[in-house]
Amino acid sequence: MDEHENTGGHDELAELVDAARQGDRAAFDELVRRTYVDTYTLALRLTSHEEDARDVVQEAYLRAWKGLQRFRGDSQFSTWLYRITANAAFTHVQKRRRHRTSTLDEVEEPVELRPESSPELVAEARAGLEEVADALQQLPERLRQVVVLKDVYELSHEAIAQEAGISVAAAKVRLHRGRKRLRDLLYDQTEAGRSERAM
């Protein structure tokens, strides 16, 4: 997270949020500055494409500006913004899939995943983060969504269910299936690498 949040910056962010809710655009611009990196990183992880991620970030901040009156401070501003960004990303991906077919050429730099947040991923990520990122991109959108939000951003099952518009039970099922599919993909990649080295 931003250093401001790590050093007692919660109060500063709360003040900025309050000011922005009163229509102070400069305060909102400062909120954007402090949260942009994390917001863009999440958008990139969920869309796998830099141009799409930029579009999602722009849409997310637009939604946040319009929806500030609905932010009651029950959660951190960054968590609220994550949820808006996730919703914007999934809407964007759905629209993109209706209008064009994704190709492997659209996949940009490998996505960095924090495997330490999940012991299961640590055990399966022997080949390195690039292999984990490649495997993530092969997951169906609905499974990748819950894996990223849980294992990367550590959202609760309840928050994930809310974002995906499903029940908590369904969120847990998708997370289990997503992790299992990820393990299988990583195992296949590891075995393929061993076969190539043995040739």
Among 81, 102, 123, residue at a domain's last position? 102
Helix, strand, coil abundance in the chain, percent, nearest 5: 80, 0, 20
Whether 158 and 193 map to the same domain: the answer is yes
| pTM (2 d.p.) | 0.55
Alpha carbon of 186 to those of 73, 104, 170: distances in Å? 40, 18, 24
Same-domain pairing of 89 and 148: no
End-to-end CA distance of the chain: 45
Q: What is the pLDDT of residues 82-94, one digit of tens each?
A: 888 888 887 887 7
Q: Could you say which of 85, 102, 119 is where a domain stops?
A: 102
Check whether residue 79 and residue 169 sit in a common domain.
Answer: no
Please tell me whether residues 33 and 80 are part of one structural domain.
Answer: yes
Boundary (domain end) residue, out of 39, 67, 102: 102
Q: Domain tally for the chain?
A: 2
Quick: pLDDT tens for 44-91.
888 878 888 899 999 999 999 999 888 877 678 888 888 888 888 878
